[in-house]
Amino acid sequence: MAQSTGPVNLRAERFMGIHVTYHPCAPSDVHGLYFDQIGRDASIERLALQLGLDPDASARLKALLAHGGRSRPREMSLCQAHVYNAAKVSELLCNCWYTNCCRFSALLELPDFGQYATDWHDLMAGVVVLERTSNERLVPRNDGIVFLGCEGLKRLRADYAEYSALRFQLDRVFPRGWLPVFWAAADYAVARGGGLIEAVNLVRPDVIAPSSLMA
């Protein structure tokens, strides 16, 4: 691996108060639990029953899948809307991991780190890719969307043990004890044959009554 020692400016993000979470999600989940269910009311009812969701979670799932990414804030791209909604579906089904303002995607501007991330378009349903508006960018990682697949996470673990330059960069973007939280999320996902969606400002922990996310 090349010696990736270029600067990454994280100071501004630490003062902006962004909240980063990692959501376990396998490619099969992206389709089976999200894209394949969009707009299919009867199927959504069966899915909620199958997953054993309580009434509140069932209502949230139905709201997420009723229109997919078509209902979104003006500044949010279609790709962003779909990846955030898929992360929300994952949140309904299992824990997510909170890393404060620390995020792997801060390293994607450096050489070699892109090999660990998967292009979100590779996970999207073909019909959804065709829905992209003409002004949306082609590479979703530039749109704040990061998916770290199972194989990418395995390579990242192995390379972290072998390459000091990579260790330096990961230790730098996950300081003050946050790296073990990231590894816990990665190990959980890999053990289940899945990957991680990195989401920014999707989950905002309550600092008055901290949840397990803050552990």
Average pLDDT for 5-24: 61
Residue-wise pLDDT for 171-185, tens only, equals 999 999 999 999 999
User: Model confidence over 22-65: pLDDT tens digits?
Assistant: 999 998 888 888 888 888 877 888 888 888 888 898 888 888 88
Starting at the edge strand found earlier in the chain, the sheet holding 146-148 runs 97-98, 20-25, 195-200, 146-148
**pLDDT at residue 129, rounded to an integer:** 55
* Confidence bin at 74 (pLDDT 50/70/90): confident
Instruction: Give SS3 for 77.
Output: coil
Average pLDDT, the chain: 79
